[in-house]
Amino acid sequence: MTTANTKTIPSTEQIQDWLISYMADMLEITTNEVDIRMLFDEYGLDSSMTIGMIGDLETWLGCNLDPTLVYDYSTIEDLAKHLGSNLISDNLL
């Protein structure tokens, strides 16, 4: 729900779609080639790539995120579920 004084809170699916697109662009593959259950490590993300992804995700979401989230929630599916449920409950936006 959006009003003049609030931001739209993205759904888990929207966050997952953003992460899929981001990974596809970064790895120069199609979105169909991105496996949401594959570990970020298996995609070859190093620490600088991870920090860049979290920074871009912060910009898109409009809130600060802990860079270690990628290690705690190590797949696109897990990270999207975590963020989707916590953005609403913690009112991060």
Give me 64's structure tokens: 């600060």
* Structural domain contains residue 7: no
Global confidence as pTM: 0.86
Residue 1 has pLDDT above 60, yes or no: no
> Which structural domain range is residue 43 located in?
12-89
* Structural domain contains residue 2: no
| Half-sphere exposure (Cβ direction) of 81: Cα atoms closer than 13 Å | 9
Residue 4 has pLDDT above 60, yes or no: no
The owner of tokens 């920090």 is 51
Count of domains forming the chain: 1
pLDDT bin (cut points 50, 70, 90) of residue 86 is confident
Distance CA 9, CA 63 (A): 11
- pLDDT at res. 6: 59
Residues 31-83 pLDDT 10s? 999 999 999 999 999 899 999 999 999 999 998 999 899 999 999 999 999 99
Residue 67: CATH number of its domain: 1.10.1200.10
Helices (H), the chain: 12-27, 47-61, 69-72, 76-89
Distance CA 2, CA 64 (A): 21
* Structural domain contains residue 17: yes
* Structural domain contains residue 75: yes
